Amino acid sequence: MVRIVFNITRKPFYTHMKSTIYLDNAATTPLLPEVSAAMRPFLEQHFGNPSSIYSLGRTTKMHIEQARESISKELNCKRGEIIFTSSGTESINKVLFAAILDLNCKRIITSAIEHHATLHTIEHLQKTLGIEVQYVNLQTDGTIDENHLADLLKSSSLKTIVSLLHANNEIGTLTNMSNVSALCQTHKALLHMDTVQSIAHYKIDLTACPIDFLSCSGHKFHGPKGIGFVYVNGKNKISPLLLGGGQERNMRAGTENVAGIIGLEKAFLLAYQHLDENKAHIFKLKTYLHEQIQNRFSKTILFGNQNLNESLYTVLNIGFLKNPQTEMLPLSLDIEGICISSGSACSSGSENQSHVIAALKKYQDYQPIRFSFSILNTLAEIDQTIAVLDKLLN
């Protein structure tokens, strides 16, 4: 088992002998030391239940409200529009159930390459409640066809919610949030953006770019696991998905994950404070790895947008023409201590063939390898990764 410990300069080091290179930051990211330091008092001294009336409880409640305030300021929305949840998955479920059960939507427009949290929830709503579901066409690079989205919106008077990824977790394609927002406004459709992979990596201004719902998960930007939030535009009055106590202004029952909320806030604020420098560093790693792979391995393709500048800067998904060696790559890289992803992780711990790559149709002959980066990765790690790829494939 690999145990990651951080030294004061934020560089991860590993307590076992073999060095590990972690290039699977779209799956999850390690906690920053500043984040665990911020959380610690809320795991130890400040343990009061935020619903308790005495000061131990009032203190934790106050810190939760401060976290809500600083997150809402960053997103340029109202404090009461941020509801803490347990994950991106819960946020997405909450939005989709509320759109149907509370806001009377009868139709959902989505895409075939959404995260399973969206696709499986929609399939359930379709099966159990007979909701109409339409899938927007994709361009060859996986970006959505905005003209087709406009046509779909025009084609029916049923109350509709559009639910789309801002950044695709497997191939890094980005949806133009302002264009989609404008289309939804024109056609009076609700809009949910799954920003799990992009929030804290891009500026999002919810006043300048009005959307109805947005989902976030703390562990994708060096915050803790088991905490997320959903933004619910104040004009949408929705009911809780989880019933019980009156936490989160009656919008999400259950005693709050106080340390998680504080950790999410810290990671969120750190990310926005260093956004430009983080982006420059990570983008350099991505372009360097891409360039090196292109120079060395001819039978490869780049999944997603062909202009690296126009896709999620944390994700590089390369297709290696399938042969016995490349099909073994995920396993061989693991043996060499390099963590990457080749599909979407499923609950059994194995990886399924990616529904995203399958939806792109043309590329079935290529073995996808998703490299995803964070501020903790270094150029030296990329050089080591290239050397290992050379050893395995050339």
User: Which residues in this chain contact ligand PLP in the complex, by CB under 6 A?
Assistant: 87-89, 115, 117, 165, 169, 194, 196-197, 217, 228
Place of tokens 């997103």: 75
What distance separates the 2 farthest-apart alpha carbons in the chain?
A: 67
- Rounded CA-CA distance 320/190 in Å is 39
Q: Which of 77, 209, 339, 346 is catalytic?
A: 346
Comparing CB distances to ligand PLP, the nearer of 115 and 286 is 115
Comparing CB distances to ligand PLP, the nearer of 303 and 326 is 303
Torsion angle in degrees (nearest 10) through CA of 368, 369, 374, 378: -140
Rounded to the nearest whole angstrom, what is the least distance from the CB of residue 11 to ligand PLP in the complex? 25
Comparing CB distances to ligand PLP, the nearer of 314 and 377 is 314
Comparing CB distances to ligand PLP, the nearer of 64 and 199 is 199
Label residues 71-108 b or e (16+ Cβ within 10 Å = b). bbebbebeeebbbbbbbbbbbbbbbbbbbbeeeebbbb
Rounded to the nearest whole angstrom, what is the least distance from the CB of residue 379 to ligand PLP in the complex? 26
Question: Nearest to ligand PLP by Cβ — which residue?
Answer: 88
**N-to-C CA span, the chain:** 30
Rounded to the nearest whole angstrom, what is the least distance from the CB of residue 283 to ligand PLP in the complex? 19
Burial of 308 (0-12, 13-18, 19+ CB in 10 A): middle
Phi and psi at residue 26, to the nearest 5°: -80, -20
Q: Which residues make Cβ contacts (< 8 Å) with residue 335, sequence separation at least 6?
A: none
Rounded to the nearest whole angstrom, what is the least distance from the CB of residue 291 to ligand PLP in the complex? 26
Comparing CB distances to ligand PLP, the nearer of 115 and 192 is 115
Alpha carbon 115 to its chain centroid, in Å, reads: 9
Rounded to the nearest whole angstrom, what is the least distance from the CB of residue 93 to ligand PLP in the complex? 10
Angle at 205 between CA 203 and CA 211, to 5 degrees: 120
Q: Is 105 annotated as catalytic?
A: no
**Residues noted as catalytic:** 346
